Structure 1
Amino acid sequence: MAKILVVDDSPTVRDEVAGFLRKHGMDVDTAVDGRDGLAKVRANAGVKLVISDVNMPNMDGLTMAEKIRGELGNKSVNIVMLTTESSQAMKDRGKAAGVKGWIVKPFRGEAVLDAFRKLAA
């Protein structure tokens, strides 16, 4: 299966999401913030889905999404935000950056498993 990158500065959330996806047979890597996530997408053309928090140190998730689309010119990777942010302004910025989905924490894996499988295909 295609590679999924989980980007979150919280080790607890990162491990929960990555562990759930691995348990369901998916190939998952993790990153600790947007800068780390951007570097991993740059280094691995096999990443098909990025699941990212918004609020992180060094580089936030929306800036990372904008850079994936702009600097890397990568339009094929699917990006989903998994965040506590629910403001319409943030969602609009995400949509402008090409974010495919917006999930407000807490993470409920079973509810999004099929969607993640499709986005990672």
Structure 2
Amino acid sequence: MKALVIDDSRTMRRIVKNILMNVGYEVFEAGDGQEALGVLENEGGINLCCIDWNMPVMDGLTFVKKVREVGAWREITLMMVTTESEHSQIVRALAAGAHEYVIKPFTPEAIYQKMELLGLLPAEEMI
């Protein structure tokens, strides 16, 4: 399984990357939505994107909308991982095509629970 972590914070990318690698994912990184689109175009086979909302160049919501416009990417699971905690923001992200929403700060278990709900956690790794 392959994942793409999209966040302008290198530290946050490393944290999420480690969480995903602990359950066997091959993880790619991008510092903003525009860079992430390039990774999707070049890499292929991405199963999960963990996306921050507030980033330079292209924010997470715009990235979600762009991914949903491309037929080949419609099956990618999109999970917002962000500090945006207002109900209206959560609704906007889900309406745009995000599957799940995790509010920072979070625990690894919170990420794993969302992954389990989405069927993206290998059976032997379920917590």
Residue 24 (structure 2) aligns with: 25
Pairs within 5 Å for 1:40-51: 40-51=39-50
More off after superposition, 22-31 vs 56-65: 22-31
CA shift for structure 1 position 111:
2.7
The structure, 1 or 2, with the larger RCO (C-alpha pairs under 8 Å, 6+ apart) is 1
Pairs within 5 Å for 1:1-121: 2-70=1-69, 72-73=70-71, 74-116=73-115, 118-119=119-120
What's the TM-score, normalizing by structure 1?
0.88
Cα distance, 1:114–1:26 mapped onto 2, change above 3 Å? farther
One-letter amino acid matched to 1:107: F
Distance, in Å, in 2 between the alignment partners of 1:93 and 1:21 is 25
Distance, in Å, in 1 between the alignment partners of 2:121 and 2:63 is 18
CA shift for structure 1 position 120:
6.7
Distance, in Å, in 2 between the alignment partners of 1:119 and 1:43 is 22
Query: Secondary structure of the residue that 1:119 maps to in structure 2?
Result: coil
Query: Secondary structure of the residue that 2:106 maps to in structure 1?
Result: coil
RMSD over aligned Cα atoms: 1.7
Query: Residue 23 of structure 2 contacts residue 121 of structure 2 at CA under 8 Å; is this kept in 1?
Result: no
Unaligned runs of 5+ in 1: none
What's the TM-score, normalizing by structure 2?
0.85
Distance, in Å, in 2 between the alignment partners of 1:120 and 1:47 is 14
